Structure 1
Amino acid sequence: MTKRPRNDPEREPHMHHSNALNRLDRLPISRFHKATLLAVSFAYFFEFADINTFATTAPKLIHVWGITVDQIAYVTSLSFVGMFIGSVVAGGLADRWGRKRTLVWTTVFFGLFSFASVFSWDLVSLGVFRILTSAGLSAMTVVAVIYVNEMYPSKVRGKFQAYAIVVGICGTPATNLIASAVVPLSDWSWRLVYLWGSLGLLLVLFTRRLKESPRWHESRGEYDRADAVLREIETRVSAETGPLPEPAPPVVETASTKAPLKLLLQRKYLMPTLLLTVLWVTQTIGFFGYSSWAPTLLAKEGFSVEKSVFYVALTTVGAPLGSYLASLVTDRFERKWCLAGFGTVIALCGLLYGLTFNPVLIVVFGFLVNMFERGYTALGYAYSPELFDTRSRSLGTGVSYGLGRLSNAAGPLIVAALYNTSGYRSVFFFIAGTWLVGAVVLAVFGPLTRGGARSAPGTGPRAGDSPDEGPGTADGQASRSVRKTPSPS
C-alpha cells in the first residue's frame, strides 16, 4: 500500500491551516497550562539532579578507586561529547516523532543509564554510562525548551519557561544535599546518588497530561491533527475560564517534514546559530568549569570531602532563586540585556569565589554564582528558540546548544591543565573571562526579541514577518494572512 504524503489533499480535504499560533496565544492560563508546567518541571528537576551526580561523587571516587584529577577531566569531557550528540539528535527526533514523545523518551533514556551507573565496577564503565546519560540529559533539555516555546502564549512564554526552571533547578541543591549526606556513609554509598538521579523515569506517569504540539503538526502539514489537538485544549480551557476570544487571522507556514542541516548556512539562520553557539559555549564552559570542579578543587586544596561537598551544596540553594529572578524580568525587559547583565555579575562573583578560602565567603560568592547562572540559563532557554521559525527551531536550537555542550569536551582539560600548572586561582580567572566574552557578544550582536521585534542578527525585521517567527517563515518568505475560519470557543 502506498502511503499518502502528510499534506495530501485527499487525506486532509478540509483543512488548509489550523491557526495554531494565534489560537494558542489567545488562551488564558488554565489548569492545562499548569499541568503541562508540572510535567516539564518534573523532567527538568531530574535533569538538573542527574547532571551534577558525577561532580558530587568524584571526590569520593578519588579515595575509593584512586582516580586522578586528569581522569576526572577525561570523564567530564566525554560526558559533554555525549551532550553534543544528544542535543543534535534531539532536534531531528523532535521533528520526526513529535515534541511530546521525544520529551518522554529522552527522559526515560537518561533515567535508565543513570540507574545503570549504580552498578559501575570501574571508571571506564561509569564513564560509558555517564556519556549515555549525558546524551539523554541534553536531548531532553532541547526538546523541553522547544515544547514550552510552542505550547504557551507568547506574552507569558518566557515567564513559564523560567517557572519550569525554578522548580527544576531545585534538583541541583537536592542532589548536592543528598550527596553530602550519603556519600560519606561508606565506600559504596556514593552509588545511591545515581539511584536518586534515575528517578526521572517516573515522567511516564505524566504522559497522559501532555498534548502534542499543534504547531509541530501544522509545520508538517497535518492540519486536521493540529486542529483536533487545539479543539481538545480549547474545550478544556473554555470549560474552566468561559468563552474564548476570537484568535487573530491565521498565519500560514509552508509544510515541511524535515529541516536539512544546510538550512542553517542561510544567512538568516546562520547568524542566530552563531550567536547562540557563543551563548551556550561560554555558559557551558563558564558554569560547568565551576560546578563540575568546585567539590574536587576544594578537596584538593585541603578541605575534607565532607566539607567540600557540603559547602557546594549550600551554594546551590541560590539556584532556584535565580530562576525565579529570571521569571520576574524575562517578559519585562529585553532578554539580551538581562543575559548580558547576569553574565557580568557571574564573572565578578565567580572570580571572587576563587580568590578566597574563607568558608563563609566561599558559600556567599558560590551562592551568587549559582543564583545568577541559573537565572541566565532560564533566560537563555526562553531567548534561544525565539530566534528561529518553526521549521528551523528544533535544528537551530539543538545545534547551537549541542555545540555549546561539545565545547566543554575541552573545558575540563583546560581546567585540569590550569590547576596543575598555574594553581587554583588561575581556574577562576579563566572562568570569569569566559563569562565576560559571552556578555559582550550578546550585548553587541544579540537581536531584540521583546514586543514582537524578533529578527535574526544582521537581517532586520521584514514586512509581514510573524512576531513569533523570528527571521522569517518556514519557507523563508514573509508570513501571509489567509481568510479567517471560525475557531471553536
Structure 2
Amino acid sequence: MRTFGNTIAAQGGASASGALTAGSIIARIERLPTNPMQVRARFLIGAATFFDGFDVITIATTLPLLIQKWGLTPGQIGFLIASGSIGQLIGAFLFPALAERFGRVRSIAWSSGIIGVTSIACGFAPTFAIFVALRIAQGLGLGGELPVAATYINEITRAHGRGRFVLLYEIVFPIGLLASNALGAWIVPRFGWEVMYIIGGVPLLLFFALRKIVPESPRWLASKDRMHDADHALKAFEATVKGSLPPLSATIEFDAMAHRHPKRRARDVFGAAYIKRTIAVALLWMTCGVIQYGLSTWLPTIYKTVYHSPLQLALNLAVAASLLGVVGSVICALIVDRVGRKPVINVAFVLCAVSLALAGVFHNESVYVVATCCAFAIGFMSCGFITAYVYTPELYPTSIRAFGCGVAGAWLKLAAILAPAMVGKTLVGGHLDTALYLLAIVPMLAAIAVHLLGVETKGRVLEQLEV
C-alpha cells in the first residue's frame, strides 16, 4: 500500500475467496489473530489517546499557579476548567462526522495536530483571555480524538478477546492522566506551569506520521463500498501475521449479517431502534464527565484551599488518585471478556457512588481520609469509564459508529462544562459535603440505566449487535 512504504503480501486465502464483499471483509477480520500491525496501530493511536488524557488533566496540576498568576475568582476558575470542554463538545460532533466521511485515521491525525499546536500555544499565553481561547480551540481536538480512536480500535479487532484488546489500548488514557499528575507534581513547583503545555504538544508529530504508517479501517471502507481499498488495508494486517491464516469460513453468514439491516443515518442514533442504548450511553458518559471534571480537576485545589495542604502534598494526593484509576483500568481489562461489559460498569459505578458518599460523610476528617475516599471513587469510575470505550462502539453499526461515539463524548463534555461550576459554587458556600453527595447520585443513576436499558455485547461480532 503506497502510504505504508512497504510491500504487502496476501496470505492464506486473503483474496482467493472470490468476489470481495462486506461479508468476506468481516470474515477476514474475524479470523485475524493479534498481529504486529494491530499492535502498531494500537501503539500509535494509543499515543494520541495518551496525550489526550495528558492534556485533559494538565489544567488540574497547573490550576493553583494559574489562580495566583491572574488572581482568578471562583467563577473564573470554574469557567477556565470548563473552557476546554466547550471546544470538546463541538469536537465530539465535528471529528466523528469527519471520520464517517473521510476515514477514521485521517480524523485522528487532524485532531492530534490541533491538540499539539494549541497545547504549545497555551504555554506562551500572555493573558487569561487568550489562555481560555486556546483551551477552547484545543478542546476541538481533545473532544474528537477519543471517540474516533475507540471506534477504529474496535473495528480492526475480532469479537473473540475484543474487550481485552481494546481496553489494553484504552489504559493509555488513565496512564496519560497519571503521567500528567505525576509530572505536574514534579515539574510545576520547580519549572513552572508553562512546561506542562509544551510537553503536551507532542501529538503534533502524529499529525505527520499517523496516515503514513497505520491502515484505514477495513470495516469503514467496506461500509462505503470501497471493497478494493478495504482489501488493500486488510492485507496490511494479514501480511504481519506469523504463520498461515486459516481458511475463510462463514462468509455467506457474514454477508447476510452485513446486509440484514439498511445502512443507518446519524438520526437513527436517536431513533426507535437505538434510543434505549443511547439513553444508557448518555448517562454512562455523563457520569465519567461529572466525576473526571467535577472532581479530579478540582482535587489539588480542594486539598490546598479547603484543607490548607501544601501545594506539593495536594499534587501528590491527586497523583495517588490517578494511580488507582490506572489500577482499576488494568483490572477491568483483564476481566471484561469474562464477566461482561454491563456487570463491570454497574458494580464499578455503584462502588464509586458509595466512595463519594463516604467522602461526604467524613469531609470534616483529615485530608488523608477524604483523599482516600476520593481516590477509590476515581479508581472505580475509571473501571466504568474505560469499559465505555469498548462498550459504546459495540452498540452502533459501522455506518453510524463514530457518530454514536461522538454523541456519547458530547454528553461527557456537556457534563464537564456544568460539573466544575457546580462544585465551585458549593465550595464557595463551604459545602464540600453537599458537592460530594450530589456527585455520588450521578454514577448510581448511570448504573441503573445501563442495567435496565443496555444490552450485553461480550463475545459477539459487531454486525450481530445491529438492530
Q: Shared fold (TM-score greater than 0.5)?
A: yes
Q: What is the CA deviation profile of residues 317-366 of structure 1, one whole-angstrom value per residue up to 9, with x for unaligned ones?
A: 12221111111121111211210100011112233344345344344334
Contact 1:16 1:223 survives alignment (8 Å): yes
Pair 1:156 & 2:156 matched: no
Aligned-partner SS, 2:239? helix
In structure 2, the partner of 1:120 is 125
Structure 1 residue 471: Cα displacement: 3.1
In structure 2, the partner of 1:10 is none
Contact 1:350 1:369 survives alignment (8 Å): yes
In structure 2, the partner of 1:211 is 215
In structure 2, the partner of 1:236 is 240
Structure 1 residue 393: Cα displacement: 0.9
In structure 2, the partner of 1:445 is 453
Pair 1:293 & 2:291 matched: no
Change (3 A) 1:28 1:451: closer
1 CA distance for matches of 2:98 and 2:373?
40
Contact 1:73 1:413 survives alignment (8 Å): yes
Q: What is the CA deviation profile of residues 240-277 of structure 1, one whole-angstrom value per residue up to 9, with x for unaligned ones?
A: 13233424214344699996443333211222222211
Structure 1 residue 48: Cα displacement: 0.8
403, 411, 416: which one pairs with 1:408? Answer: 416
In structure 2, the partner of 1:25 is 30
311, 319, 323: which one pairs with 2:325? Answer: 319
Question: After the TM superposition, which residues 177-216 of structure 1 pair with which residues of structure 2 at under 5 Å, given as runs?
Answer: 177-185=182-190, 189-203=192-206, 204-216=208-220
2 CA distance for matches of 1:348 and 1:305?
28
Aligned-partner SS, 1:198? coil
1 CA distance for matches of 2:201 and 2:394?
31
2 CA distance for matches of 1:216 and 1:132?
28
Structure 1 residue 231: Cα displacement: 2.6
Structure 1 residue 305: Cα displacement: 2.3
397, 406, 415: which one pairs with 2:405? Answer: 397
1 CA distance for matches of 2:273 and 2:395?
9
Letter in 2 for 1:364: T
1 CA distance for matches of 2:170 and 2:402?
20
Question: After the TM superposition, which residues 345-356 of structure 1 pair with which residues of structure 2 at under 5 Å, given as runs?
Answer: 345-354=351-360, 355-356=362-363
2 CA distance for matches of 1:297 and 1:363?
10
In structure 2, the partner of 1:471 is 466
- TM-score, normalised by the number of residues in structure 1: 0.85
In structure 2, the partner of 1:110 is 115
1 CA distance for matches of 2:280 and 2:121?
37
Aligned length: 443
Structure 1 residue 118: Cα displacement: 0.6
Q: Which runs of 5+ in 2 are unaligned?
A: 1-17
Contact 2:344 2:383 survives alignment (8 Å): no
Question: After the TM superposition, which residues 167-186 of structure 1 pair with which residues of structure 2 at under 5 Å, given as runs?
Answer: 167-185=172-190
In structure 2, the partner of 1:483 is none
In structure 2, the partner of 1:371 is 379
Structure 1 residue 16: Cα displacement: 4.6
Aligned-partner SS, 1:139? helix
Question: After the TM superposition, which residues 327-338 of structure 1 pair with which residues of structure 2 at under 5 Å, given as runs?
Answer: 327-338=333-344
90, 95, 101: which one pairs with 1:96? Answer: 101
Change (3 A) 1:265 1:316: closer
Contact 1:95 1:257 survives alignment (8 Å): no
In structure 2, the partner of 1:248 is 250
Q: Which runs of 5+ in 1 are unaligned?
A: 1-12, 453-465, 473-489
In structure 2, the partner of 1:430 is 438
2 CA distance for matches of 1:266 and 1:430?
31
Change (3 A) 1:147 1:195: same
Letter in 1 for 2:439: I
2 CA distance for matches of 1:359 and 1:299?
10
- Computed over aligned residues only, the root mean square deviation of the Cα atoms, in angstroms, reads 2.3
Contact 1:60 1:305 survives alignment (8 Å): no
Structure 1 residue 49: Cα displacement: 0.6
In structure 2, the partner of 1:263 is 268
Which deviates further from its counterpart, 283-292 or 335-344?
Answer: 283-292
Pair 1:69 & 2:70 matched: no
Which deviates further from its counterpart, 226-235 or 340-349?
Answer: 226-235
